[in-house]
């Protein structure tokens, strides 16, 4: 059965109407997929006491279960991107989310550490395949100057799902009900991808023609692009700082004398700022002739924010400092993620392999920087820990100057 067969009859009779709707239907499917996967992971945090008691999990085992969803991205992102360049995004993403949906359903009946870990690992397959091809998918359907803003919308949907998973799961009547809700969301995402994403031989293909390329050719072109590796370095540092802030900010605030509840509330403010930033900064960038100066300013200010915002006086100053830090930092990521598909040597054709490289580096940064670099240097000194996070953001600031110019300014210069 093809997508044309499952589309409503009136859409099959009006291809132009399909072409107008498809880019936005695809964006909705991507947001549902991202949100569903993140909700399934972050709903575990408030379930931790119940899971550790009912399943007898140690703290280390629970941490392993929580992070298992990120493991596929380390090993499979590059392969997923190369496969999409060769066989098309639809085959890769639909297969990935079919596996994820099946794992989400199986998780409802997980009764042991091994089964829960396995289900969480498989839950990461779909979002891994999607993230590796995110900008390839968006760049095939939208103008280049819109890509960073639309990427911000997708990242925003992930942030909303994280907040919902953390804040509302404890209100549900049980673990299985919580698992059921995320399973329903992921099944819906898998169905949406199957129905909405067109095959290459569909009459409703994207307005930007994306040819099939050999996997090794795709890898060679992506690896040979300096811009791809600069973006990979930026995301390596950026996501590494993310993983330093999120777990340790509440602890740092408690060391200042705040109660756990107050520390958690203040820490959530930075996430709210991030939600605003990943939408506002790309929207502003799309109106500018050059994006690099904006990215550099954001990175430089964020370096100071991650270092000292947590030290602001308790009350409105602390909330404002954390909100501003989240807003300023989050604006960098969608612009950086959207860059490879806009490079002339990459484009939508090789964006899968390029996205695989950058997605792999993101996850490596999340694991290596906080665990094996910054934490050993900082020891028990929380000030050194956040200072080192600021140094990483200064690294982002410096790498931005190695980026090629993108956006309207580059287009105008080339004409």
Would residue 204 count as lying in a domain?
no
pLDDT at 327 over 80: yes
pLDDT, position 12: 45
User: In terms of domains, do 34 and 169 share one?
Assistant: yes
Region 355-366: mean pLDDT is 88
Residue whose token pair is 């973006």: 231
Alpha-carbon torsion angle 344, 345, 347, 350, nearest 10: 180
Residues comprising the chain, all counted: 415
Is 228 found in the same domain as 166?
A: no
Identify whether residues 169 and 262 lie together within a single domain. no
Residue 108: per-residue pLDDT: 94
Query: Is 314 a residue whose pLDDT tops 70?
Result: yes
Q: Are the CB atoms for 96 and 126 separated by under 8 Å?
A: yes
Q: Do 250 and 174 share a domain, yes or no?
A: no
212 domain-assigned: no
User: Does residue 300 belong to any structural domain of this protein?
Assistant: yes
Residue 245 in any domain: the answer is: yes
**Two structure tokens written together for 35:** 């949100």
pLDDT at 6 over 70: no
DSSP string, 151-185: HHHHHHHHHHHHHHHHHHGGGSS-HHHHHHHHHHH
pLDDT at residue 42, as a whole number: 84
Assess contact for 335 and 282: CB atoms under 8 A: yes
User: What's the pLDDT at 233?
Assistant: 94
Is the pLDDT at 141 greater than 50? The verdict is yes
Give which of 292, 285, 290 is closest to 413, Cα–Cα: 290
Closest CA to 134 of 24, 23, 25, 30: 30
Do residues 226 and 298 share a domain? yes
What gap in Å lies between CA 404 and CA 325, rounded to an integer? 26
Q: In the predicted model, is pLDDT for residue 82 greater than 90?
A: no
3-state helix, strand and coil shares in percent for the chain, rounded to the nearest 5: 80, 0, 20
In a domain, 209, yes or no: no
Alpha carbon separation from 132 to 82, 147, 180, 337, 363 (Å, rounded)? 9, 15, 27, 10, 12
Asked if 306 contacts 194 with a C-beta cutoff of 8 angstroms, the reply is: no
Co-location of 378 and 263 in the same domain: yes
Q: Residue 403 has which token pair?
A: 């980026």
Query: pLDDT per residue over 238-282, tens digit each?
Result: 988 887 777 678 778 888 888 877 877 787 788 888 888 888 888
**Pair 190, 101 in one domain:** yes
- The verdict on residue 242 lying in a domain is yes
Q: Is residue 141 part of a domain?
A: yes
pLDDT of residue 297: 93
User: What's the pLDDT tens digit per position in 49-76?
Assistant: 788 888 888 877 887 888 788 889 888 8
- Give residue 2's pLDDT band: very low, low, confident or very high (50, 70, 90): very low
pTM equals 0.80
Return d(Cα 239, Cα 367) in angstroms, integer.
Answer: 9
Looking at the fold, whether 158 and 246 belong to one and the same domain comes out as no
Can you tell me which residue has the tokens 């969803």?
A: 69
User: What number is the average pLDDT over the span 145-163?
Assistant: 84
How far from chain centre, in Å, is Cα 397?
Answer: 20
Residue 296 CB contacts under 8 Å (≥ 6 apart), including other chains: 397, 400, 401
Same structural domain, 126 and 273: no
Predicted pLDDT of residue 211: 61
Burial class (CB in 10 A: 0-12, 13-18, 19+), 346: buried
What's the rounded mean pLDDT across residues 171-194? Answer: 92
Give me the domain span that covers residue 72: 3-197
> For 31-45, what is the mean pLDDT?
90
d(C-alpha 351, C-alpha 221), whole Å: 10
In a domain, 16, yes or no: yes
pLDDT at 248: 74
Report the alpha-carbon distance of residue 137 to residue 304 in Å, rounded: 35
Q: What is the largest CA-CA distance in the chain?
A: 66
- For residues 15 and 220, the model is more confident at 220
One domain, residues 232 and 360: yes
Q: What angle do CA 376, 380, 381 make, to 5 degrees?
A: 100
CATH number of the CATH domain containing 398: 1.20.1250.20
* In a shared domain, residues 248 and 371: yes
- Asked if residue 22 lies in contact with residue 198, where contact means CB atoms within 8 angstroms, the answer is yes
More confident residue, 217 or 184: 184
Number of domains in the chain: 2
Predicted local distance difference test score (pLDDT) of residue 9: 43
Please classify residue 240 by burial: count the beta carbons closer than 10 Å to its beta carbon, then call 0-12 exposed, 13-18 middle and 19+ buried.
buried
One domain for residues 273 and 401? yes
What is the share, in percent, of the chain residues with pLDDT greater than 70?
89
Per-chain mean pLDDT for the chain: 83
């Amino acid at each position: 059965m093809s997508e044309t067969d499952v589309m409503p009859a009136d859409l099959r009779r009006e291809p132009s109407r399909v072409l107008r709707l498809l880019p936005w239907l695809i964006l909705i499917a991507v947001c549902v997929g991202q949100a569903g996967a993140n909700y399934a992971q972050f709903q575990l945090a408030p379930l931790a006491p119940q899971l550790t008691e009912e399943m007898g999990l140690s703290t280390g085992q629970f941490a392993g279960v929580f992070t298992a969803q990120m493991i596929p991205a380390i090993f499979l992102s590059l392969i997923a991107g190369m496969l999409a360049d060769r066989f098309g995004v639809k085959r890769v993403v639909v297969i990935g989310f079919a596996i994820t949906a099946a794992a989400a359903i199986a998780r409802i009946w997980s009764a042991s550490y091994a089964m829960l870990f396995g289900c969480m690992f498989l839950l990461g397959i779909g979002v891994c395949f999607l993230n590796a091809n995110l900008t390839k998918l968006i760049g095939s359907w939208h103008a280049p100057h819109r890509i960073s803003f639309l990427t911000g919308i997708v990242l925003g949907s992930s942030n909303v799902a994280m907040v919902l998973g953390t804040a509302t799961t404890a209100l549900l009547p049980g673990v299985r009900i919580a698992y059921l809700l995320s399973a329903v969301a992921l099944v819906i995402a898998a169905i949406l991808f199957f129905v909405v994403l067109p095959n290459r031989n569909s009459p409703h293909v994207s307005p930007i023609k994306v040819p099939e390329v050999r996997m090794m050719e795709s890898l060679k072109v992506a690896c040979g692009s300096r811009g791809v590796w600069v973006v990979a370095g930026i995301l390596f540092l950026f996501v590494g700082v993310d993983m330093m802030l999120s777990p340790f900010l509440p602890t740092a605030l408690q060391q200042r004398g705040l109660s756990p509840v107050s520390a958690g509330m203040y820490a959530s403010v930075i996430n709210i700022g991030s939600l605003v930033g990943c939408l506002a900064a790309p929207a502003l960038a799309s109106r500018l002739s050059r994006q690099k100066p904006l990215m550099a300013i954001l990175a430089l200010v964020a370096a100071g924010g991650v270092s000292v915002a947590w030290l602001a006086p308790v009350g409105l100053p602390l909330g404002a400092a954390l909100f501003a830090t989240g807003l300023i930092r989050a604006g960098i990521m969608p612009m950086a993620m959207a860059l490879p598909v806009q490079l002339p040597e990459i484009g939508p054709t090789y964006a899968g392999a390029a996205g695989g490289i950058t997605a792999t580096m993101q996850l490596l940064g999340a694991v290596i920087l906080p665990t094996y670099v910054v934490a050993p240097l900082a020891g028990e000194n929380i000030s050194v820990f956040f200072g080192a996070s600021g140094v990483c953001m200064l690294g982002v600031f410096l790498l931005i100057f190695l980026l090629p110019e993108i956006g309207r300014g580059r287009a105008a210069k080339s004409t």
